Each structure stands twice: as structure tokens, then as C-alpha cells.
Amino acid sequence: MTSVITTRTRETAPTERTRRNRWSTGRLLRRLPWWLIALVLLGGALLWVYPFLWMLSASLKDNIEVFSSSLSLLPESAVFENYGRAWSDANFSGYMWNTIIVTVVTVVLVVIRCAMAGYVIGRYGFFGKKTVVVVLVATLFVPTGYTIIPVVDITQQLGLLNSLTGMIIALSGGGHVAAILLYAGYFRQVPRELEESATVDGAGFFTIFLRIMLPLAKPITATVTLLTFLSTWNAFFLPLVFTFSRPDLRTLSVGMQAFVGENTTDWAGMAAAATISLVPVIVLFVVLQRRFVEGFAGAIKQ
């Protein structure tokens, strides 16, 4: 009896000690003045956003001032010609349209495919389900460079290598395991009564999925849309391979190479081009940020 009590005491002691430590830490934070906490958080935020501010500042400087002014964020005189040079001379207007087409179509294909796969995995039991999930998760550890050769070979056999269509198929045909698991986790929590009542009313699989389940998964759809948009918009390796012989099909990330010459690099023009390419990403994140948080919260909620 004594040994049992001793064992229980040893098991609960770390828990009680942890609670005391958390309580003391919470009391210490509550005693700090609000302005000190705000000052620390503001300093962390400025440190985090400084690289973006430096890039924005460099886009308004000439190439000499970019390095002569060191860490200064204020240009001596704003050089807006950098944006004109990036947009027209470096053909970023064409690269922007290529990127928009590839990204939008890829996002649509990924959302549809991952939503259906996540719905089946999250709502239905079938033979080999655990094996399928394990294989999907295992693909997360396969680097993109290891799969580029079969992807290019298949695309070339289809006659789509040097085209936006081939690029879209290559970008949307990956595993996208995170998106599938997000949908599966969300659909798993939806009450079964919704499906049962819809089945009684004569609704089939696709009707239930399209009219009931997919509208309920708007937070997950927003999350997957944002994540896929970011990965596709910033993709470099696959678009580079698919545009070797077609420079006119380059995306924004690949088009950055236009500022790198044999002997010199147009850093100011590159900063302006990078700023242009970030604007759509920032706008989309601002629009979908609430849904983005709700999507992750809903997917992991038990």
C-alpha cells in the first residue's frame, strides 16, 4: 500500500510542480506594465517585418544607394523608374498573367481533388484506408527534386512540356497531403444525421458532397486556397524546368532571373519586381485571414 501511495505521489508531483510554475509565470506577466509588454511585442513585430520594409525601400533606390545606405530604410530620392523597368523592360507584365493563369487553375483543381479525397477518407471506411493514409503521409518526406524526372517525362510524352497546361498539371498533380488531411479532419466532425437525412430525401453521393458538405467546409476551402496559392505563386523549380525553351511562359519567380546578368545584377529592379509579386499575396491573405484561422481551428478540433 505504501509503495502504491509513493508511486502516485511521484507521478503527480511533476504535474503539481508544473502547475505552480505556470501560475507563478502568469502572475509575473500580470504584474508587468502593459506598455512594457506592448513595447516588447512591437519590437518583435518590427524585427519580423524589417526584411519586407528593406525590400520596399530598396525598390525605390538606385543600385548604388541600395548598398551604400546600408540598413537605412529612407531613400535619398524615390526612383519609381525601377517599377517601370521591372514591369515593361523585364516583361513582368507578361509574367504576371502567366502566374495568375497557372495559380488560379491550379488552386481550383487542387481544391476539388483534395476536397473529394478528404471527404472519402474522413467519412467512409474502406479496405486499405490506413495504408492509403500512411502512403499519403510518407510522400511528405519525398523531396520535389526526386520526382521531377518522372513528372517531366510523363508531361513530355503527353506533348505538354513547354506549355502552361503542362505546368498546371505538374503543379496540381502532386500529393497535397496537408490539404487532404485538413479536409478529412473537418469532414470527420460533421454529424452523420446530415448525410442520413439527405439520403432519405433521395440525394446521392455527389449531391451530398456538393450541396451539403462542401459549403460547410468554407473555412477549410479558404485555408487550402491560401496555402495552395502561396506554394504555386512562389513555385520556382517546376516552372523553371517547364520554361527552359519558352522564356515567354515564365512565371514571376522564374522571371527574377532577368535581373541577373553575367557581370552585374540589377538589385533595385529585382526589389521592385519582388514587391510587385508580393502585392496579390498580401491582398489575398488580408481577405482570407479570418477563414484561414477558422480552417485550422476546425480541422484540429476534436
pLDDT tens for 28-57 read 667 777 788 888 888 888 888 888 888 888
| Predicted TM-score of the model (pTM) | 0.79
List, in sequence order, every residue forming a beta bridge with 260; answer none if it has no partner: 265
10 occurs within a structural domain = yes
172 occurs within a structural domain = yes
Residue 159 CA to residue 128 CA, distance in Å, equals 35
Q: Which residue has the higher pLDDT, 123 or 302?
A: 123
Is 261 in the same domain as 204?
yes
Run of H or E including 180: helix 177-187
Is 262 in the same domain as 159?
yes
Task: Tell me the three cell numbers of residue 41.
Answer: 511585442
9 has pLDDT over 50: no
4 has pLDDT over 50: no
218 occurs within a structural domain = yes
Report the pLDDT value the prediction gives residue 12, as an integer from 0 to 100: 46
The answer to whether the beta carbons of residues 58 and 82 sit under 8 Å apart is no
21 occurs within a structural domain = yes
144 occurs within a structural domain = yes
Is 66 in the same domain as 119?
no
> How many domains are there within the chain?
3
Report the pLDDT value the prediction gives residue 1, as an integer from 0 to 100: 47
Task: Tell me the three cell numbers of residue 4.
Answer: 502504491
212 has pLDDT over 90: no
Q: What is the pLDDT of residues 217-265, one digit of tens each?
A: 888 898 899 889 999 999 988 898 888 888 889 999 998 887 887 677 8
Is 2 in the same domain as 132?
no
Is 21 in the same domain as 68?
no
Report the pLDDT value the prediction gives residue 16, as an integer from 0 to 100: 56
Boundaries of domain holding 14: 1-27
Q: What is the pLDDT of residues 134-149, one digit of tens each?
A: 888 888 887 777 788 8
202 occurs within a structural domain = yes
Task: Tell me the three cell numbers of residue 32.
Answer: 508587468
- CATH (domain of 156): 1.10.3720.10
38 occurs within a structural domain = yes
Run of H or E including 203: none
Report the pLDDT value the prediction gives residue 292, as an integer from 0 to 100: 63
Is 107 in the same domain as 227?
yes
Is 177 in the same domain as 48?
no
How crowded is residue 234: how many other Cβ atoms within 10 Å of its Cβ? 15
Residue 87 CA to residue 81 CA, distance in Å, equals 10
Q: Which residue has the higher pLDDT, 118 or 194?
A: 118
Listed residues 9, 44, 79: the one ending a domain: 79
Q: What is the pLDDT of residues 89-127, one digit of tens each?
A: 888 889 999 999 999 999 999 999 999 999 999 888 888
Listed residues 79, 102, 118: the one ending a domain: 79
Is 47 in the same domain as 135?
no
What letter does residue 260 receive in the DSSP assignment? B
Is 179 in the same domain as 249?
yes
8 has pLDDT over 50: no
Is 157 in the same domain as 63?
no
84 occurs within a structural domain = no
Q: What is the pLDDT of residues 236-245, one digit of tens each?
A: 888 988 888 8
Q: What is the pLDDT of residues 172-183, one digit of tens each?
A: 888 788 899 889
72 Cβ contact partners less than 8 Å away, ≥ 6 residues apart: 57
Is 175 in the same domain as 224?
yes
Radius of gyration of the chain measured on its C-alpha atoms: 26
Sign of CA dihedral 70, 71, 77, 80: positive
Is 124 in the same domain as 102?
yes
Q: What is the pLDDT of residues 59-94, one digit of tens each?
A: 888 888 887 876 778 888 888 888 988 888 888 889
Give the angle 294-193-221 at the CA atoms, nearest 5°: 25
Here the contacts of 134-140 (C-beta below 8 Å, separation 24 or greater) are: 136/175, 136/177, 136/180, 136/181, 137/177, 137/181, 139/175, 139/177, 140/175, 140/177, 140/178
The answer to whether the beta carbons of residues 86 and 258 sit under 8 Å apart is no
